[in-house]
Amino acid sequence: MAVVAGVPFLQILLENLRVQGVAEVVLGTGYMAEQIENYFGNGASYSLRIRYSREHEPLGTGGALKLAEPLLNDPVVVLNGDSYVEWSLAAAKELFDKNGASLVMVLQTVPEVDRYGSVTVAADGRVTEFVEKGTRAGAGLINAGVYLLRKEIVSALPAGKAISLERDVFPGLLGGEVYGLVAQGIFIDIGIPADLERAQILLAT
């Protein structure tokens, strides 16, 4: 709900989904859940159908996704709520279908990967390695926090347990059909004050 360019940051993410043809969204809420649910309601004001999956304890990205499983379609698009990347759902779906992928993750080239960790991709777009943050420095590809994945990945997760998709789930999928889609536009993570300030300019309409 941090205000960026005059609106809650989450609203910018939802509008980006809507213009790409997404009609139904499930918001995983925990902290400030009531404020988020009261603000966005059923989504009609945004030409979306919005439903909610509320965490009563922190479950991590994987645990939150598992909690929302009954509300999810297959395949499912998953976004982190604190980062923005210019990505194409159509391109992700094309890559997903062409390769019979289990997971397509959106990647972004940044000048310094140390803060995020990095991702190694083969010539055919297959993801071959995840490198923990603080391990490698310099320019490279990072996980931009947008995924198109098969629901069977969610079904295989244990219920009621805190799980990180990025640390606990995705590394175990390597060697399978995991592909990276490299985005070319704006990427910003508002998790630190300096980037929250930068977002005010980059995302101004």
Catalytic residues: 133
**What does the alpha-carbon distance between residue 61 and residue 69 come to, in Å, rounded to a whole number?**
12
Angle, in degrees to the nearest 10, between helices 33-40 and 9-19? 50
The 10 Å Cβ neighbour count of residue 63 is 23
**What does the alpha-carbon distance between residue 163 and residue 58 come to, in Å, rounded to a whole number?**
9
What's the alpha-carbon Rg for the chain, to the nearest Å? 17
Locate 43 and state its tokens: 């989504």
Q: Coil, strand or helix: which one is 137?
A: coil
**What does the alpha-carbon distance between residue 156 and residue 131 come to, in Å, rounded to a whole number?**
24
Q: DSSP letter for 48, please.
A: S
**What does the alpha-carbon distance between residue 186 and residue 195 come to, in Å, rounded to a whole number?**
12
**What does the alpha-carbon distance between residue 131 and residue 187 come to, in Å, rounded to a whole number?**
19
